[in-house]
Amino acid sequence: MKDKNIAALWSHIHWLSVLAQCGSFTAAAAYLNVSKAAMSQRIAELEQAAGIPLVRRTTRSVRLTEAGQQLTENTRHAFEQIADSFDVVRDQAASPQGTVHVSAPVALARQQLVPRLPSFLRENPNIRIELDLSDQLSSLSGEGFDLAIRHTSVPPATHVAWSLCEVRSVLVASPAYLDRCGMPEHPLDLTSHACLHYPRRQRNAVWTLETVGKKTAAHKRHVVPVRGPFAVNNSEGLREAAQAGLGITILPDFSAQQALRKGDLLRVLPDWNPTGVFGNALYVIRPYTSHVPRAVQVLVKYLRDVFKDGFPV
């Protein structure tokens, strides 16, 4: 058995590791839900027991000394293993519980994900979801996310990924715009229309359209330069601009679905598929971890079930 005086310092070492991650006594104390004075006292006790400074304190920042860095690095995996072991034990409870941190694209989450979460939370009262809405592709493990929903054509190979459903892109415009400017009959007609596009890195906007169906000898593909009065990197913004009659746009089916059903938007060139603007599938992904909490497993199963039919338009 280890020296009991050393065993009494386990929590002190953990607090030091939290301080290293948070970068300040104030942030570390808030994370641990303790006072700043208690945090400072615990680190001072650890330094006294070690007989060497572990933290460099300045008026602006806190940094670990070489000894402090060595101590936290050597014990980091042990504390991670303790946390994983506790998760395994907690998951043996009668019902899944805990907080699931999820990242999702803004438009998809607002229109399709958030409306589906209340029923899940009612069925799983001990699960809490923290949802971060962002179109940026964040590092899941680096930013503390358990899951992310990605609208892409190829899921990242560095993560575990499940396909939720296919996503189609559709060309749409408002009835008022089509009454005013006419319905295009061919992709090349788009060059004379106001086209609302999702800006990419290329300088000039182009849309690629292919004939619907399998690629055969009759398959056709057109790359059409387009221009219009408005561009925005958000499908909700494009949808609202199209509904206002500003022009024709390309939307993923999950953004267009409700507006098409209500008649606020109409399909344009339905025999042609726009490609290359948005991803062609939804995935739910998670980092590779040795243990997956039951709350995460249950949410993944629910998402796969509620999105399996996609977004028919």
Tens of pLDDT, residue by residue, the chain (313 residues): 455 577 788 889 889 998 888 888 888 888 888 998 999 999 999 999 889 999 988 767 788 999 989 998 988 888 877 777 776 676 666 688 999 999 999 999 999 999 999 999 999 999 999 999 988 766 676 778 899 999 998 888 888 999 999 999 999 999 999 999 999 999 999 999 999 999 976 678 999 999 976 665 578 999 999 999 999 999 999 999 999 999 999 999 999 999 999 999 999 999 999 998 999 999 999 988 777 889 999 999 999 999 999 999 8
The boundaries of every CATH 1.10.10.10 domain in the chain are 4-90
Residue 89: its pLDDT value, please?
A: 73
Helices 253-262 and 235-243 pack at an angle, to 10 degrees, of 20
Pairing relation of β-strands 195-196 and 248-252? parallel
- For the CA atoms of 228, 231, 237, 240, the dihedral, rounded to the nearest 10 degrees, stands at -10
CB atoms within 10 A of CB 133: 15
CATH assignment of 169-275, given 3.40.190.290, 3.30.1310.10, 3.30.465.10, 3.10.105.10?
3.40.190.290
Residue 81: its pLDDT value, please?
A: 79
Cβ atoms of 112 and 131 closer than 8 Å:
no
The boundaries of every CATH 3.40.190.290 domain in the chain are 169-275
Question: Could you name the CATH architecture of 98-167+280-306?
Answer: 3-Layer(aba) Sandwich (3.40)
Distance CA 108, CA 102 (A): 13
Cβ atoms of 210 and 221 closer than 8 Å:
yes
Q: Which helix (H) or strand (E) holds 60?
A: none
Token pair in block for residue 106: 């803004």
Which class is 4-90 in CATH?
mainly alpha
Residue 94: its pLDDT value, please?
A: 60
What would you measure as the largest C-alpha separation in the chain, in angstroms? 85
Cβ atoms of 167 and 282 closer than 8 Å:
yes
Distance CA 1, CA 84 (A): 23
Token pair in block for residue 271: 């025999």
CB atoms within 10 A of CB 295: 23
The boundaries of every CATH 3.40.190.10 domain in the chain are 98-167+280-306
Which residue intervals of the chain are DSSP H helices?
A: 4-7, 10-22, 25-32, 36-50, 66-90, 106-108, 117-123, 140-143, 175-181, 235-243, 253-262, 294-306
Overall pTM > 0.85 = no
CB atoms within 10 A of CB 219: 11
Distance CA 309, CA 313 (A): 12
